[in-house]
Structure 1
Amino acid sequence: MTRPTLSYANVMSTVAVFIAQGGTSYAPQRNSVGSRELKRNAVSSSKVKDRSLKAADLAPSVLNSARRGPRGPEGPAGPAG
């Protein structure tokens, strides 16, 4: 029995099968986008989910640290319930 010879078509079809099976699959890791990948001012408030940021996530200069003003006059009493 003679052994079949390798042809260019046989080799390329085998390579194509291996590439199709696993060479093109890619799954990024969760939370893989960090500050290095983002451009400055790329994330605006409309792109941030409500209630997802905490004070520790913001720069100290962004938070309002003003003192509380004097207490205002007390309002009139409401009707009895």
Structure 2
Amino acid sequence: MDEWWRLASSSDWLTRGLDCNWLCTLLNQIVSNALTILLIDLIEQIINRSVDLEHLVDRLAFKRVSKSSPTFIIP
């Protein structure tokens, strides 16, 4: 996190305007940090049992064809 903050707050960020490497590094760190926060929040919800795990699996990974059928399709 310190690296992307240093890059974002550096005084020469305007001169880096078209530097794709720098921009990709910054965006990668932002997305990575956001996904980490979402994952931690999801784990806390599961621990607190405020999330229905069956519903979560259906929404994130697979869609069941029907409740009686064990067949899964990938969305």
* TM-score, structure 1 normalization: 0.32
Q: Which has the larger radius of gyration?
A: 1
Larger RCO: Structure 1 or Structure 2 (Cα < 8 Å, ≥ 6 residues apart)? 2
**Greater fraction of residues in strand:** 2
**Greater fraction of residues in helix:** 2
